[in-house]
Amino acid sequence: MAFSTLLNNRLDFIQAYRTPKHYEDNVYMAKRWIKQWDGKTIHQIKPVMISKYIIKLRKSISAYTANKELGALRALYNYGIKPPNRWFFDNPTDGIEFFSIEKKAKYVPPIDDVIRVIMASEGEVQDYLWAIALTMGRMSEINHMEWKDVDFENTTVTLYSRKNKGGHFVGRKIPMTKKLKEVLKRRLKGNNTPWVFHHTYYSRKVKEWVTGPYASRKRIMTTLCKKAGVKYFRFHPLRHFGASVLLKEGVDRKTIQELLGHANIKTTDIYLHSFEGSDNKAMNHLDSTLNQFEKVVKFEKRKTSAQD
């Protein structure tokens, strides 16, 4: 079997059963692997070749990237080994060790930096950032949020994720704060698509312009952080800063785990320590705190404009 054949089958599987982010990451890595081993069969790629490739990644990029690609290559070969495929029996990544990595605390931006970034944005982009901050949802969850998931009557939003093992969609209800309701009502006006956030783009697959959900919006944060004059942070810290706000407001970690959609409480513990409360009360805390900071930032902007 050609390495490229195995790779294409694996990518099709990931696209069907895993998250868009997981698929996007694997496509990115696959391009590097094809440059490295295009034209070779799976049996021609020896453990020593993979080991040299991984060491090269460690030296040229980082241990984290090297480990990520080793894990993905191991999963690629296991996909061909396990039923129902059983195309071959040996995994050339077996025995290749992961690099040790010093675990660092993830950067959670100060709440005023988050508000400054939101206030530096406009229109649909600002609504998008508010949606992440006020639901503490993942970027992929907000990208694929549909109007059928929005319940204005019961003031809840249901977010779906394939984060759990097995790749099945799992939904969790998030209380809708006043600010979030305001944002969603604004997005509903004139929106005749199933998605809360959508765009029109040229699809290479169907070779025409189509309207659909975003796959990724990573570039937004680079531009906005620079515009706001704050240290760069990605979308993920945007949702986790909300957890830190709830921590300070006295919300229990089990509630925050459920709101974040973490399958394992240990993941939540990376960011949190100890507190107590309930879902609705927790989100009201977040809503009021964000509104207070938003007013301060608006006042500072008006003050600066007046001085100019």
∠ CA 93-97-101, rounded to 5°: 135
Q: For residue 97, is pLDDT > 90? A: yes
pLDDT grade for 165, boundaries at 50, 70 and 90: low
Query: Which of helix, strand or coil describes residue 102?
Result: coil
> Is residue 45 a part of any domain in this protein?
yes
Q: Which two tokens stand for residue 188?
A: 């509903």
Are 131 and 251 in a shared domain?
A: yes
Q: For residue 138, is pLDDT > 90? A: no
Are 133 and 243 in a shared domain?
A: yes
Are 115 and 219 in a shared domain?
A: yes
> Is residue 90 a part of any domain in this protein?
no
Domain end residue (candidates: 60, 81, 102): 81
Are 204 and 62 in a shared domain?
A: no
Are 242 and 135 in a shared domain?
A: yes
Are 131 and 169 in a shared domain?
A: yes
Are 187 and 256 in a shared domain?
A: yes
Alpha helices in the chain (DSSP H): 3-17, 20-37, 47-60, 63-81, 111-120, 123-135, 139-143, 178-188, 219-228, 235-248, 253-260, 265-269, 279-307
> Is residue 98 a part of any domain in this protein?
no
pLDDT value of position 204: 76
195-247, pLDDT tens digit by residue? 999 999 888 778 899 999 988 888 899 999 999 999 998 887 777 766 766 77
Across residues 255-277, what is the average pLDDT? Answer: 62
% of the chain with per-residue pLDDT over 70 = 80
Are 201 and 74 in a shared domain?
A: no
pLDDT value of position 107: 74
37-84, pLDDT tens digit by residue? 999 999 999 999 999 999 999 999 999 999 999 999 999 999 999 999
> Is residue 96 a part of any domain in this protein?
no
98-120, pLDDT tens digit by residue? 999 887 766 777 777 888 898 89
Cα–Cα distance measured from residue 17 to residue 166, given in angstroms and rounded to the nearest whole number: 8
Across residues 271-282, what is the average pLDDT? Answer: 46
Domain end residue (candidates: 41, 62, 81): 81
> Is residue 101 a part of any domain in this protein?
no
Q: List the beta bridge partners of residue 170.
A: 161
> CA–CA distance from 153 to each of 157, 181, 184, 281 (Å)?
11, 11, 13, 18
Q: Please report, for the domain that includes residue 211, its CATH number.
A: 1.10.443.10
Q: Which residue has the higher pLDDT, 131 or 297?
A: 131
Cα–Cα distance measured from residue 261 to residue 279, given in angstroms and rounded to the nearest whole number: 13
> Is residue 91 a part of any domain in this protein?
no
Domain end residue (candidates: 61, 81, 101): 81
Cα–Cα distance measured from residue 144 to residue 160, given in angstroms and rounded to the nearest whole number: 8
Q: How many folded domains does the chain comprise? A: 2
Please confirm whether the linkage preceding 84 is cis (ω < 30° from 0): yes
Q: Which amino acid is at 145?
A: M
Are 126 and 62 in a shared domain?
A: no
pLDDT value of position 184: 96
Averaged confidence pLDDT in the chain: 84
Across residues 152-166, what is the average pLDDT? Answer: 80
pLDDT grade for 166, boundaries at 50, 70 and 90: low
> Is residue 87 a part of any domain in this protein?
no
Q: Which residue has the higher pLDDT, 205 or 284?
A: 205
Are 9 and 74 in a shared domain?
A: yes
Q: What is the pairing mode between strands 156-161 and 150-151?
A: antiparallel
Across residues 14-29, what is the average pLDDT? Answer: 88
Q: Which residue has the higher pLDDT, 259 or 24?
A: 24
> Is residue 86 a part of any domain in this protein?
no
pLDDT grade for 275, boundaries at 50, 70 and 90: very low
Are 115 and 243 in a shared domain?
A: yes
Domain enclosing residue 46, as ranges: 3-81
> CA–CA distance from 144 to each of 19, 20, 75, 159, 216 (Å)?
11, 10, 26, 9, 11
Phi, psi of 241 (to 5 degrees): -65, -30
Q: Which two tokens stand for residue 304?
A: 């600066």
Are 42 and 142 in a shared domain?
A: no
